[in-house]
Amino acid sequence: MENFGPIDTSVLYGQANHRSEDVLGDPDATLTVRRGDISFFRVLQLVPRHIRVLQVLQNMSFLGILQCGHIEIDTHLITALVERWRPETHTFHFSVGEATVTLQDISIIWALPTEGNLITGVDIKWTTQQWQNYCHQWLGFRPNENAFKHSRIKLSALLDWLLNNTCDDESPFDAVLQEARVCVMCIIGGILCPDATGNTVSLLYLRHMEIIDEKRPSNWGTSVLAYLYRELCMASQRGKTNIGGAMQLLQIWVWSRIITLAPIPSNNAVDLMPTVIDVENILPIPPYAARYVYLYL
């Protein structure tokens, strides 16, 4: 235990400010995972989405996230991983060697695209009224002024709208697209890229959903991976108490790599069943992560 840190600091030069330095002094300092609760995901389940909306979500490459459902986050496991994350190399340092989450993992676990238009942007200094007009055009409703924090919108405003609105066979196609965009904004803000507060999502993501091109989807997988790396680097610093990013993806990644850490199979996973159950086999096969929702608690 005396030499649990790196022996040669010529590469791992950030050890002095790394959270592993505090392991001996405070071994129970567990990180808080932002948006790791099931209550958020259940909101997306309460009102079943119409098949037309689900098909648009598939064209946008986000249907797999809903098909995978929710898994309970093991904060102790996440904390142990972060203690082994090195910002200098962007890898986990295990006793058997280094490992890291890759774009291939993103593609297989959640079926997110890793090619296409990059997700980039510069913060826009719009007024609240301008953001309201923008939401009305692309999301189909006009949120209240208190729903905005500069260029960010509260997830509660999006979730409340989803609970009270759903498309049907007679809905115009623009309404179908708008509902799909609201679903994606909730997925980004609550599952893929939770922010520091865990209750808002940047409207800059919406700019990449104005035109939905199923032949060339946006490169969401790269953005999710970059955001995950950023959160791991920040949480690995001394004094940090919480972490955001795609923690469900990270947990499934480590389950699939270190199988002794994977949960025991159970037949009692009713509460964690996936949102999208396609009895007619119209939708594509769920991605890799869905097997854990079906089989494990």
* 179 located within any domain: yes
Q: Could you read off the pLDDT of 236-263 as tens digits, one per residue?
A: 999 899 999 999 999 999 999 888 888 8
**Can you tell me whether residue 254 is helix, strand or coil?**
helix
Looking up tokens 């992560």, which residue turns up?
289
Segment 186-204 shows an average pLDDT of 87
pLDDT for res 296: 43
User: Which pTM value belongs to this model?
Assistant: 0.89
Q: How many CA atoms lie within 13 A of 19 on its CB side?
A: 27
Segment 31-38 shows an average pLDDT of 80
Segment 91-99 shows an average pLDDT of 91
* 65 located within any domain: yes
- Cα–Cα distance measured from residue 157 to residue 137, given in angstroms and rounded to the nearest whole number: 16
pLDDT for res 10: 76
DSSP string, 185-200: HHHIIIIIS--SSSSE
- Cα–Cα distance measured from residue 286 to residue 262, given in angstroms and rounded to the nearest whole number: 20
Q: Could you read off the pLDDT of 126-140 as tens digits, one per residue?
A: 999 999 999 999 999
**Can you tell me whether residue 133 is helix, strand or coil?**
helix
* 271 located within any domain: yes
* 27 located within any domain: no
* 224 located within any domain: yes
With a pLDDT cut of 70, the percent of the chain lying above it is: 89
Q: Could you read off the pLDDT of 50-84 as tens digits, one per residue?
A: 999 999 999 999 998 988 888 888 999 999 999 99
Closest among 146, 231, 221 to 188, alpha carbons compared:
221
Point out which residues pair with 1 in neighbouring strands.
none
Cβ atoms within 10 Å, residue 13? 11
- The DSSP call for residue 214 is T
* 21 located within any domain: no
- Cα–Cα distance measured from residue 60 to residue 117, given in angstroms and rounded to the nearest whole number: 12
Q: State the average pLDDT for the chain.
A: 86
* 22 located within any domain: no
Per DSSP, which regions of 211-277 are E strands?
Answer: 242-243
Please give the tally of structural domains in the chain. Answer: 1
**Is the predicted pLDDT of residue 117 greater than 60, yes or no?**
yes
Q: Give me 166's structure tokens.
A: 């759903």
Helix axes 75-83, 247-257, angle to 10 degrees: 80
* 45 located within any domain: yes
Q: Could you read off the pLDDT of 132-180 as tens digits, one per residue?
A: 999 999 999 999 999 998 899 999 999 999 988 889 999 999 999 999 9
Q: Give me 27's structure tokens.
A: 């071994």
What is the extent of the structural domain holding 213?
35-295
- Cα–Cα distance measured from residue 127 to residue 286, given in angstroms and rounded to the nearest whole number: 40
